[in-house]
């Protein structure tokens, strides 16, 4: 297992639509392990492979992060149904320090494969439904910023530009 770097907005790789996993092998199981370890280290409640620069349809969720305990792994997920509506304050590891109110379906049903290639169906409500939809969006190249108003988008872009400048200044200071 390894902790990997999470891509930060506006990295263009976050906009790529992820490809289906053709075969679940040790490299995919390693990716699932790395996603979980990186998610716990950040800490977050979910992480998708595209956020690590890997354009594959894979994500993990653990609502008990950072302690762990309810890790769910999804390979080639597909939304079966969405119902209802809920507003939730969402954050995203690719948008450090940003959290915004987002409206999503209150109930989500996803079908996916587990790390051994076994098909399963998971129904989630409230936070689990929100997390599944959020991570699924990453597989489609959709981001948190796509689900907020024009004004909020401008504010987020400004915040992310400031974050990038601070990170670059810190990296420059470390190099000296």
Q: Is the pLDDT of residue 176 over 90?
A: no
pLDDT of residue 168: 84
Give the Cα separation of 56 and 139 in Å (integer).
Answer: 7
pLDDT of residue 171: 80
Residue 17: inside a domain, yes or no?
yes
Q: Is 106 in contact with 86 (CB distance < 8 Å)?
A: yes
Give the Cα separation of 26 and 156 in Å (integer).
Answer: 38
pLDDT of residue 67: 58
**CATH number reported for the structural domain that contains residue 92 in this entry:** 3.90.45.10
Q: Region 74-101: what's the mean pLDDT?
A: 97
133: phi > 0 → left, psi -120 to 50 → alpha, else beta; which? alpha
Give the strand pairing for 72-83 and 99-104: unpaired
Residue 165: inside a domain, yes or no?
no
Q: Region 120-126: what's the mean pLDDT?
A: 97
pLDDT of residue 164: 87
Which residues are CB-contacts of 97 (< 8 A; sequence separation ≥ 6)? 159, 163
DSSP string, 7-19: P-TT-GGGGSPPB
Cβ count near 14 (within 10 Å): 22
Q: How high does pLDDT run on average in the chain? A: 94
Residue 172: inside a domain, yes or no?
no
The model's confidence at residue 173, banded by pLDDT at 50, 70 and 90, is: low
pLDDT in tens, 24-81: 999 999 999 999 999 999 989 999 999 999 999 999 999 985 555 799 999 999 999 9
When mean pLDDT is compared across 35-49, 101-115, 159-173, the lowest value belongs to 159-173
Which residues are CB-contacts of 2 (< 8 A; sequence separation ≥ 6)? 34, 37, 38
Tokens describing residue 18: 């992820």
Residue 5: inside a domain, yes or no?
no
Residue 19: inside a domain, yes or no?
yes
Give the Cα separation of 155 and 104 in Å (integer).
Answer: 21
Task: Respond yes or no on whether the N-terminal peptide bond of residue 66 is cis (omega within 30° of 0).
Answer: yes
Q: Is 104 in contact with 83 (CB distance < 8 Å)?
A: no
Domain that holds residue 52: 12-147
Give the pTM: 0.93
Structurally, the chain folds into a number of domains equal to 1
List active site positions: 135
């Amino acid at each position: 297992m390894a902790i990997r770097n999470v891509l930060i907005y506006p990295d263009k790789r976050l906009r790529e639509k992820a490809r289906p996993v053709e075969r679940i092998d040790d490299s995919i199981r390693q990716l699932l392990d790395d996603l979980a370890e990186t998610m716990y280290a950040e800490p977050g409640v979910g992480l998708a492979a595209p956020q690590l620069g890997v354009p594959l349809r894979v994500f993990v969720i653990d609502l008990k992060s950072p302690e762990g305990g309810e890790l769910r792994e999804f390979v080639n997920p597909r939304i079966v149904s969405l119902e209802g509506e809920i507003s939730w304050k969402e954050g995203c590891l690719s948008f450090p320090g940003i959290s915004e109110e987002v409206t999503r379906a209150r109930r989500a049903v996803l079908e996916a494969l587990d790390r051994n290639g076994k098909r399963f169906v998971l129904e989630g409500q409230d936070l689990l439904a929100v997390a599944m939809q959020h991570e699924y969006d990453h597989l489609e190249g959709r981001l948190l910023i796509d689900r907020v108003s024009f004004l909020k988008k401008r504010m987020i872009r400004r915040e992310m530009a400031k974050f990038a400048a601070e990170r670059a200044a810190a990296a420059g200071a470390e190099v000296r």
